[in-house]
A and B are shown apart, each in its own frame.
Chain A
Amino acid sequence: MALLALPAAAQVKSGSEFLSPGMARQQADETRNPGFFWVEQGEGLFSARPPQGQACIVCHAEPRQSLRGAATRYPQVDAASGKLLNLEGRIEQCRVERQTQPAFGHESAELLAMTAYIASLSRGLPMDVATDGAAKPFYEAGKAFFERRQGQLNLSCQQCHDGLVGQKLRGDTISHGAGTGYPAYRLEWNSVGSLHRRLRACSLGVRATQFDFGSPEYLALELYLAGRAKDLPVETPAIRR
């Protein structure tokens, strides 16, 4: 298996480095990147007063300052429950527990918009998740998931996303799977979608079990990917193929 000799996962690059120059320009251009529609929607929701409870902005005043950098620290372990929460999970928790509203639901336009908006407040800031302490078991589980062969094709994430980065897989260039641009506008979807939606496509690609949105498996993997992507800038809303 010399082909699959695995170099250390040093030098993880952003998915943007694997875009064509045209798509990279489009990503950076607010007049062209449709992902900004979701950001704009999220900004509106953030200030909108729900039927009961308070608008997000009542507690999180001046979000451009107060939430700047927040997305760089997700996924993180929720101190009260001991659960691993990604940004979507934190938004839903706030919505249900503090605003006493029904959850938006995974992949709803509203949750994608809120997540894209809050992540966009950290654009350009380096990823900085905790992978030690309470996060360590989750990080280790994510690492084990990444390294484990899965599915009918019997491939691990690592075999392609460390071992074959930069090579072609049909029309795509294989990336490190940094995930720093999600929620992202993906041409394949004609829409913005979450990292977990992308991971479900990966699982399907190797004919492996697709886990649910927000499942412990994908949350742990998200943490591992975020740990690998340490110091890469947040790019939400990115454009991806």
Chain B
Amino acid sequence: MSSSISLRSRAIEPNRRAVLAGAAAGLALAGLPAPAFAAGTPELSEFVARITEGAVPLREGVTLAIPPLVENGNSVDVRVAVESPMTEQNHVRWIHLIADKNPFPDMARLHLGPRAGRAEISTTLRLAQSQRVTAVAALSDGRFAMAEADVVVTLSACIDGG
């Protein structure tokens, strides 16, 4: 159906707990961490290019619904819908989800086909920190389409290391 995803590990950046430890000390009623989005970072475009095998995706037809402010990165609801008639001739082959600042940026790939009737999926993701989430859809005509969303991940107050 399609090749499996080759995972590429990256050195784990200082995690959100370490980064926010200062804010935790003294239980300061801290504001949210400032979002630090580097729009269209080269690295993100590399991730996209790798899964599209170099093709530049269209930036239309994909709806990526994800809360802009996430209460806990351990489980983040995401919904992706792609405009497609989902026929034998014209359908979405798969939807791939990327979080460029996760230790493993490739989060998931959901394979669909004409029998889906509709190109719409939802799932729950893990986000290590505030970052940009990208959904790339592979279309049956060989083209790709994508959508992106910036997500701020906050922390619960009383972490017990459990």
Contact = CB atoms under 8 A, between A and B. Distances in A.
Interface of A: 20, 22-23, 26, 153, 155, 167-172, 174, 187-191, 193, 197, 200-202, 204-206, 241
A204 B162 CA distance: 12
Given A153-B26, A153-B27, A168-B29, A187 B158 contact: no
Contact of A205 (B67, B74, B155, B158): B158
Contacts of A169: 27, 29, 157
B160 interface: yes
Interface string B31-62: 01000000000000000000000000000000
A171 B155 contact: yes
Contact of A170 (B74, B75, B77, B157): B157
Interface string B3-38: 000000000000000001001101101101000000
B66 to A, nearest CB: 11
Contacts of B26: 153
A188 B162 contact: yes
Given A22-B77, A188-B74, A241-B71, A206 B27 contact: yes
Main secondary structure of the interface of B (DSSP, over half): loop
A187 B155 contact: no
Task: Please classify the interface of chain A as helix (H, G, I), strand (E, B), loop, or mixed, using the class held by over half of its residues.
Answer: mixed
Pick from A20, A172, A188, A202 the residue with the most CB of B within 10 Å: A188
B63 interface: no
Contacts of B23: 170
A68 to B, nearest CB: 31
Contacts of A20: 67, 71
Interface residues of B, number: 22
A197 B160 contact: yes
B84 interface: no
A129 B153 CA distance: 38
A171 B71 CA distance: 6
A205 B162 contact: no
Contact of B159 (A167, A188, A191, A193): A188
A130 B111 CA distance: 56
A170 B160 contact: no
Given A188-B72, A206-B27, A200 B154 contact: no
B77 to A, nearest CB: 6
B156 interface: yes
B24, B71, B159 — most chain A CB neighbours (10 Å): B71
A167 B29 contact: yes
B162 A201 contact: yes
A241 B156 contact: yes
Given A153-B26, A188-B156, A241-B71, 15 more contacts: A155-B27, A167-B29, A169-B157, A170-B23, A170-B24, A170-B154, A170-B156, A170-B157, A171-B156, A172-B156, A188-B160, A190-B74, A197-B162, A205-B27, A205-B157
